[in-house]
Amino acid sequence: QDFGDQKIEVVGLNAAHMAAIHIGFHGKRIAQCSQLRIELRSPMTAQMDGEPFYLPASVAVNIGHAGQVLVLKNENK
């Protein structure tokens, strides 16, 4: 992976996958892109950056690269 390529990695997860992430599970890779548009026709819950939220019916979600920050990792874990 090149963190400077400004690509968004799209992965699919279900509830069981969410629990398995803590032990190293990575999810099912769907796509890599610069911009993403998701159109939903029914209400659903979603999660972004660990924060759950509710999406009402008939909503379009546009996602794009807005910047980059460094992520710190604890090497002692």
Answer yes or no: is 23 within a domain: yes
> Could you tell me the residue range of the domain that residue 30 belongs to?
8-64
Residue 72 lies in a domain: no
Domain for residue 27, yes or no?
Answer: yes
pLDDT above 80: residue 2: no
φ, ψ dihedrals at 18, nearest 5°: -60, -40
Rounded Cα distance between 35 and 47, Å, is 18
Instruction: Quote the DSSP letter at residue 45.
Output: E
Identify whether 71 is part of a domain: no
Global pTM value: 0.56
Q: Which residues pair with 31 in a beta bridge?
A: 10
Query: Does residue 53 sit within a domain?
Result: yes
Q: Is residue 18 part of a domain?
A: yes
Q: What is the structure's pLDDT at 37? A: 93
pLDDT tens readout for residues 12-69:
877 777 677 777 777 788 999 989 998 989 988 887 787 888 888 888 889 887 777 7
Note whether 40 and 56 are within 8 A (CB). no
33 in a domain, yes or no?
yes
pLDDT for the residue numbered 1? 64
75 falls within a domain: no
Q: Which residue has the tokens 């610069």?
A: 34
Q: Which residue has the higher pLDDT, 4 or 8?
A: 8
